[in-house]
């Protein structure tokens, strides 16, 4: 296992939240740990898609799977991520609508 700090942490976090579904997963997990099937149902995605996104978030070091009997429950790898996510969603951005679509994709 490799430990990362500073810029590499921001880079991985940026990659993780660059996908809307992964961003929504992180928002959900910032509220409470959850099981993949519950997350898939709540976010309206397939279980396979949820599995792929959770694998990505695990690989980025942002979430961990905790064994709960025969099931795995997911939670943020560090409680400070929850605070950071809540701080970030409180940020107000002034954007040029000719440059960025509402979902954040560049349209140039």
3-state secondary structure of 33: coil
Q: What is the mean pLDDT of residues 77-106?
A: 80
More confident residue, 58 or 97: 58
43-74 pLDDT, tens per residue? Answer: 999 999 999 999 999 998 899 999 999 999 99
pLDDT value, residue 91: 83
Q: Looking at residue 37, what is its pLDDT?
A: 97
The confidence score (pLDDT) of residue 17 equals 87
Burial tier of 52 (Cβ tally within 10 Å: 0-12, 13-18, 19+)? middle
> Backbone dihedral region of 35: left (phi > 0), alpha (psi from -120 to 50 degrees) or beta?
beta
Residues 6+ apart with CB under 8 A from 28: 34, 39, 42, 43
Phi, psi of 41 (to 5 degrees): -65, -45
CATH code linked to domain 7-89: 1.10.10.10
């Amino acid at each position: 296992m490799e430990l990362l700090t500073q810029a590499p942490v921001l880079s991985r976090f940026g990659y993780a939240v660059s996908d809307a579904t992964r961003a929504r997963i992180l928002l959900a997990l910032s509220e409470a740990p959850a099981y993949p099937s519950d997350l898939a149902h709540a976010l309206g995605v397939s279980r396979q898609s949820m599995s792929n996104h959770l694998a990505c978030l695990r690989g980025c070091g942002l979430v961990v799977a905790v064994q709960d009997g025969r099931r795995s429950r997911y939670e943020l790898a560090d409680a400070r991520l929850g605070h950071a996510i809540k701080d970030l969603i409180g940020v107000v951005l002034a954007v040029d609508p000719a440059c960025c679509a509402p979902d954040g994709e560049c349209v140039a």
